[in-house]
């Protein structure tokens, strides 16, 4: 039940009066989840001031695949033998390692806290030891462990390993992680659990703000990564949409940015998952490392409401990342599930670099913005590239493209980046990954 004007207490009493069982309350977004018999359901549907919705499932983005045959069917998109790429290769080719070295000591993301809504995190993995500062389980799974081996790889892409030449690491290896388990041990969950997970992070953020904690306190969640989703039905009252709008609100100090995987259901149009399809979320697609091109299975826009999605793309095909089978395990992963955390952590990490070299103030570094910010397009047009022959501007395959490292380094050398950033300072949550690529 979603409130459409009545108070939360009135909504709850109405649900109880009509026989609601196993009631769970999402306080921030004013929603209630429960079991109902047919008679109670009919009475609730006839009650003004609320909307009744059936609960649907949420899955790891990696579990979504095209539902109909296309020229880029999975069997054709995945070859028998393909090169694989270590994160150290991504770090060097993206120039993110070099960007961290612009400051002394290097800016590794220390002070950044990323809330990972996923299947759990194996916090004892050698690449993640000491990085998980908070964890909570919203599923029926008995433990917080990542049995499905998805959230561990996502977490490593964001903040795993360490910053050292030749070492494997995520995009912000100094960052802290919050393990918000909303998917069960099969990589599946409910919209209900996902919403409660989102609201938990929002409550942590609200508490941190109200207590006056600094942005860099480990219990101050700065950003949310959701390499998960559900098929978008376009319903503006979808409970997940309602919750995301609340969590990301920009007119209060509590709003927090969400980076969401576009999904792996391409190349057909209209396949971007919810919540990535929402204007409030940064939707991340995925490109191949070599050649630089959109991965055939990367989900495409437009969203059901017609907006262009994804917002941008990053590497995430045949990348080596952590697995949860044991504390030493690594495996090869592909999909938007893994380009998303790289973008999430890398974008905030780059903002921290800009703060440490003096071209952004702390408030500018940490301010929450969304893709709807009017200056957002300006910044991405400045830094993104696409393969030769793909029109510039935002499209439903590449978004704005992939942010380009050589261009940012050139702007830094010429001293013009500060002026450019100040002209688009409302865009502070944008992921500015900076890969060196050859236009083809």
Structure confidence at residue 84 (pLDDT): 86
pLDDT for position 361: 86
| Rounded Cα distance, 208 and 406, in Å | 37
**3-state secondary structure (DSSP) of residue 58:** strand
Mean pLDDT score across all residues of the chain? 88
Instruction: Report the side by side order of strands in the sheet with 50-51.
Output: 21-26, 31-35, 2-3, 50-51
- What is residue 155's three-state secondary structure? helix
Which one is predicted more confidently, 404 or 422? 404
Share of the chain above pLDDT 90, in %: 69
Contacts of 435 (CB under 8 A, 6+ apart): 90, 93, 94, 95, 292, 314, 315, 402, 403, 404, 405
pLDDT of residue 402: 87
Measured distance CA(83)–CA(68) in Å, rounded: 28
Model pLDDT, residue 69: 37
Residue 375 has pLDDT above 70, yes or no: no
Q: What is the pLDDT of residue 55?
A: 84
What residue has token string 């940490």? 366
pTM score, whole prediction:
0.91
Q: Has residue 14 got a pLDDT over 80?
A: yes
What would the mean pLDDT of 104-109 be, rounded to a whole number? 94
The answer, yes or no, to whether residue 224 has pLDDT greater than 80, is: yes
Domains and CATH numbers, the chain: 2-52 (no CATH), 59-423 (3.40.50.200)
Residues of the chain above pLDDT 70, percent: 90
Over range 422-440, report the average pLDDT. 40
Contact (Cβ atoms closer than 8 angstroms) between residue 222 and residue 112:
yes
Quick: pLDDT tens for 41-70: 999 999 999 999 988 899 998 888 765 434
pLDDT in tens, 270-279: 999 999 999 9
Q: What is the pLDDT of residue 73?
A: 39
| 206-213: average pLDDT | 97
Q: Phi, psi at residue 378, to the nearest 5°?
A: -60, -45
3-class SS at 203?
A: helix
The pLDDT value given to residue 176:
98
| pLDDT, position 421 | 64
Cβ–Cβ < 8 Å for 239, 195:
yes
Please give the Cα distance from 23 to 8 (Å, whole number): 13
Cα(196)–Cα(27) distance, integer angstroms = 9
pLDDT of residue 93: 76
Decide if pLDDT at 388 tops 50: yes
DSSP-based three-state secondary structure for 32: strand
CA 273, 180, 145, 125 dihedral sign is positive
Query: Cβ(62)–Cβ(335) under 8 Å?
Result: yes
């Amino acid at each position: 039940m979603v409130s459409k004007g009545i108070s939360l207490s009135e909504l709850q009493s109405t649900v109880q009066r009509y026989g609601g069982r196993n009631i769970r309350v999402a306080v921030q977004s004013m929603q209630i989840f429960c079991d109902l018999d047919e008679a109670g359901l009919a009475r609730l549907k006839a009650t003004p001031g609320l909307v009744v919705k059936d609960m649907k499932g949420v899955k790891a983005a990696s579990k979504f695949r095209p539902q109909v045959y296309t020229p880029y069917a999975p069997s054709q998109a995945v070859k028998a033998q393909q090169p694989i790429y270590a994160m150290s290769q991504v770090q060097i080719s993206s120039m993110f390692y070099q960007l961290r070295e612009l400051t002394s000591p290097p800016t590794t993301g220390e002070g950044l806290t990323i809330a990972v809504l996923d299947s759990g995190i194996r916090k004892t993995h050698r690449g993640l030891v000491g990085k998980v500062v908070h964890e909570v389980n919203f599923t029926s799974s008995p433990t917080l462990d990542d049995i499905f081996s998805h959230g561990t790889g996502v977490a490593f892409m964001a903040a795993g390993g360490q910053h050292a030449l030749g070492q494997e690491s995520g995009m912000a290896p100094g960052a802290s992680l919050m393990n918000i388990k909303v998917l069960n041990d099969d990589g599946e969950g409910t919209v209900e659990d996902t919403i409660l997970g989102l609201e938990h992070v929002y409550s942590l953020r609200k508490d941190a703000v109200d207590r006056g904690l600094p942005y860099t306190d480990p219990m101050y969640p700065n950003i949310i990564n959701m390499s998960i989703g559900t098929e978008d039905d376009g319903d503006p009252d979808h409970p997940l949409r309602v919750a995301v709008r609340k969590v990301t609100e920009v007119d209060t100090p509590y709003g927090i940015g969400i980076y969401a995987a576009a999904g792996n259901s391409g190349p057909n149009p209209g396949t971007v998952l919810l919540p990535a399809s929402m204007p409030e979320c940064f939707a991340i697609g995925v490109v191949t490392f070599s050649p630089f091109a959109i991965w055939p299975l990367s989900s495409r826009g437009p969203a059901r409401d017609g907006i262009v999605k994804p917002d941008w793309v990053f590497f995430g095909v045949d990348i080596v990342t952590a697995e949860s089978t044991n504390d030493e395990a690594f495996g090869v992963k592909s999909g938007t599930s893994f380009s998303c955390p790289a973008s999430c952590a890398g974008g905030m990490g780059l903002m921290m670099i800009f703060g440490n070299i003096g071209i952004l103030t702390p408030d500018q570094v940490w301010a929450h913005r969304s893709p709807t910010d009017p200056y957002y397009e300006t910044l991405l047009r400045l830094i993104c590239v696409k393969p030769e022959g793909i029109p510039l501007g935002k499209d439903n395959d590449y978004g704005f493209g992939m942010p380009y490292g050589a261009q940012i380094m050139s702007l830094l050398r010429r001293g013009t980046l500060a002026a450019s950033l100040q002209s688009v300072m409302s865009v502070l949550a944008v992921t500015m990954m900076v890969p060196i690529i050859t236009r083809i």
